Amino acid sequence: MARNKYPEQTVKRIIDTALQLFMEKGYEQTTIQDIINALGDLSKGAIYHHFKSKEDIMQAVSDEMDKDSTVRIAALRNRKDLTGLQKMRQLAMDSMDSDTQATLLSAVPNILKNPRFLAEQIYSGDRVVAPLIEEFIREGIVDGSITTDHPKEASQILILLLNIWLNPLVFSCTQEELLAKFRYLQQITTSMLGTPILDDSILERLDKYRQLTCGSPASSVPHPTK
Amino acid sequence: MARNKYPEQTVKRIIDTALQLFMEKGYEQTTIQDIINALGDLSKGAIYHHFKSKEDIMQAVSDEMDKDSTVRIAALRNRKDLTGLQKMRQLAMDSMDSDTQATLLSAVPNILKNPRFLAEQIYSGDRVVAPLIEEFIREGIVDGSITTDHPKEASQILILLLNIWLNPLVFSCTQEELLAKFRYLQQITTSMLGTPILDDSILERLDKYRQLTCGSPASSVPHPTK
DNA sequence: AAAATACATACCGCCAGTCGGTATCAAAAG
DNA sequence: CTTTTGATACCGACTGGCGGTATGTATTTT
């Protein structure tokens, strides 16, 4: 195989391919040979030239997954025209139709076989996303749009509930169950931050979100073939 | 090696040894040979006679870990002298000084290297513990000691926050941070169930709990050697 | 005595990771 | 402009260790 003049393209191809396979089959179940086969035109030596171990590939994959949520939040961060509350609302909105979420949801069969990704989600939520949310909350406290005496803890719980508890990929559920969860989450977050942050416009996205994981749009609507 | 007349003892030894090693080194990092070496007097054939795969051992280990929490809850369940609220309080109390928690906390270096256990905790919390909590909540609603319109969702969130978010093993934190978390959790759970369920008597246990993971009793009290 | 159980041991296939080698490039040297 | 040099991108055979199996043997149960 001819040598690539732009090795970063090769690196990216490896990461993308590994991401796909790790999501589909799980990290442990994916073999380096699987990645090689999926790439088609690279060898073992090529991979181990760019990454020092399989774990190293996983690290790069995790970073890649974190990337788009952090850049989205970073963009929000610089907006001077929004109150803390408005930034929070946008954030919650975004968290359900980001590219990563979509591809992740459509590719991962069930996260039960992917404890690595579950752990990654939990920790990146707490370490990278929550601190930024905390910032928004503190802004909201200053500009008067949010009320709480525990911004740090609130941000952690918020992201945990949004990313994990409400995620049908983690806790599979029917449409009605998801709706009930969402309603209760509205209630709780309202009492946490002193004002509603989750409005019903998220609901549509939420159900698309769920459909991706479960397939059937609803189990509550019996539709005998007419 | 002489054949054991009581094979269930051998099975239990394997499970206990595997539990210990899985916690210390992580599931993936523990080899069958490690288990054999730790056991000292058994061979590979012995293990694969009692368990059909390494995954099968993990399953048994998980069941073992779930066991004591489920029997404790089952015991609470039959108590007719307690209100739903009182059962909830006892449950929260128990969740922090059970044997499993203690041994788990003292053995596991960081759950980051143990995504399997983290996932296991999350799912067993949701599937086995939460439904029982929901029962207590419904009892509490009937006997008037608890108020909520979403017992199911409340139970899920409650156990998630208690087992995962508050767990210093999952999210390592200083004593003050843990205290702040606990205070906020008191607040939230109170608004969730209409009455305080976490009282300060849990706090002592909570700090012991934390000390097991981090070692130092407190970072807030500077004690220069006198 | 026969069957079932509780082990032991040698062995297999597969996997992550290694290592010596080759091909291609960029820049320095002629 | 050509040659040399050294660095980089990649190849593919190989290895050690892993999970798992097959077969054999001693002990218990029936």
What does the pLDDT look like over B18-43, one tens digit per residue?
A: 999 999 999 999 999 999 999 999 99
Task: Identify the sign of the CA torsion A95, A99, A100, A101.
Answer: positive
Enumerate the nucleotides of strand D whose atoms come under 7 Å of any protein CB.
8-14, 17-24, 26-29
Looking at residue B226, what is its pLDDT?
28
Tell whether the torsion through CA atoms of B215, B221, B224 and B226 is positive or negative. negative
Radius of gyration over alpha carbons of chain B, in Å?
20
pLDDT score for A213:
67
Minimum distance, in Å, between the CA of residue B225 and any CA atom of chain A: 33
3-state secondary structure of A163: helix
Mean pLDDT of chain A: 88
Check if the beta carbon of residue A149 is closer than 8 Å to that of residue B180: no
B123-171 tens-digit pLDDT: 999 999 999 999 999 999 999 999 999 999 999 999 999 999 998 889 9
A3 pLDDT higher than 50: yes
pLDDT of residue B205: 79
- Report yes or no: B184 at the A interface, CB cutoff 8 Å: yes
* Whether residue A166 has pLDDT greater than 90: yes
Chain A residue numbers touching B180 (CB-CB < 8 A)? 150, 152-153
What integer pLDDT is reported at residue B141 of this predicted model? 98
Residues 63-92 of B with CB under 8 A from A: none
B4 touches strand C (CB under 7 A): yes
**What was the pLDDT predicted at A10?**
97
User: Could you tell me the pLDDT band of residue B224, with boundaries at 50, 70 and 90?
Assistant: very low
> What pLDDT band is residue A148 in, cutting at 50, 70 and 90?
very high
Nearest to A192 among B154, B181, B188 (CB): B188
Residue in the structure block whose two tokens are 């207590």:
B136
Angle at B92 between CA B90 and CA B95, to 5 degrees: 105
Structure token digits, residue B45: 């054939």
Using CA atoms, how far residue B209 sits from A29, B61, B104, in Å, is: 35, 22, 11
Instruction: State the nucleotide closest to B50 in CA–C1' terms.
Output: C6
Mean pLDDT of B62-86: 93
pLDDT the model gives residue A214: 59
**What is the 3-state secondary structure of A111-150?**
HHHCHHHHHHHHHHHHHHHHHHHHHHHHHHHHHCCCCCCC
Asked if pLDDT for residue A187 goes beyond 70, the answer is: yes
A65 burial (CB, 10 Å; 0-12 / 13-18 / 19+) is buried
* Residue B60 pLDDT exceeds 70: yes
Nearest-angstrom CA–CA distance, A70 and A100: 11
Looking at residue B93, what is its pLDDT?
86
Asked if A153 lies within 8 A of B184 by C-beta distance, the reply is yes
Q: Which nucleotide is nearest to A31 (CA to C1')?
A: C15
**Residue B29 to residue A128: CA distance in whole angstroms:** 27
- d(Cα A149, Cα A73) in Å, to the nearest integer? 23
If you measure CA to C1', which residue is closest to nucleotide C14?
A: A31
- Does A28 lie at the interface with B, CB-CB under 8 angstroms? yes
Q: CA A14 → C1' D3, Å?
A: 36
Is residue B82 helix, strand or coil? Answer: coil
Q: How confident is the model at residue B68 (pLDDT cuts 50, 70, 90)?
A: confident
Tell me which residue of B136, B178, B183, B175 sits closest to B159, measured CA to CA: B136
Separation between Cα atoms, residue A135 and residue A141, nearest integer Å: 10
Is the pLDDT score of A212 beyond 60?
yes
Global pTM reads: 0.89
- Confirm if A13 and A39 have CB atoms less than 8 A apart: yes
Q: Is B190 on the interface with A (CB under 8 A)?
A: no
Q: What is the mean pLDDT of residues B102-119?
A: 80
* CA of residue A63 relative to chain centroid, distance: 12
Q: Cβ contacts (< 8 Å) between A153 and chain B: which residues?
A: 180-181, 184-185
pLDDT attached to residue A2: 64
DSSP string, A77-124: HH-SSS-HHHHHHHHHHHTTT-HHHHHHHHH-S-GGG-HHHHHHHHHH
Residue B215 has pLDDT above 90, yes or no: no
- Report phi then psi at A225, rounded to 5: -60, 120
Flag whether pLDDT at A51 surpasses 50. Answer: yes
pLDDT bucket at A208, cuts 50 / 70 / 90:
confident
> Contact at 8 Å (CB) between B110 and B172?
yes
For A148-152, what is the mean pLDDT? 98
Q: Is residue B175 within 8 Å of residue B210, measured between CB atoms?
A: yes
Task: Quote the mean pLDDT of chain B.
Answer: 88
| Local structure of B17: helix, strand or coil | helix
Answer for B43: CB within 7 Å of strand C. Answer: yes
3-state helix, strand, coil in chain B (%, to 5): 70, 0, 30
* Residues in Cβ contact with B76 at an 8 Å cutoff, skipping those fewer than 6 apart: B82, B87, B90, B91, B136
Mean pLDDT for A149-165 is 97
| CA trace torsion B120, B28, B97, A171 (10° rounding) | -10
> Between B174 and B208, whose confidence is greater?
B174
Span A40-52, average pLDDT? 97
pLDDT above 70 covers a percentage of chain B that reads 88
pLDDT value of residue A45:
97
Q: Does position B208 have pLDDT exceeding 90, yes or no?
A: no
More confident position, A222 or B9: B9
Beta strand spans in B22-135 (E) = none
**Ramachandran bin of A194, using left for φ above 0, alpha for ψ from -120 to 50, beta for the remaining angles:** left
Cβ–Cβ of A157/B165 closer than 8 Å?
Answer: yes
Contact B147, B141 (CB under 8 A): yes
Is pLDDT above 60 for A219?
Answer: no
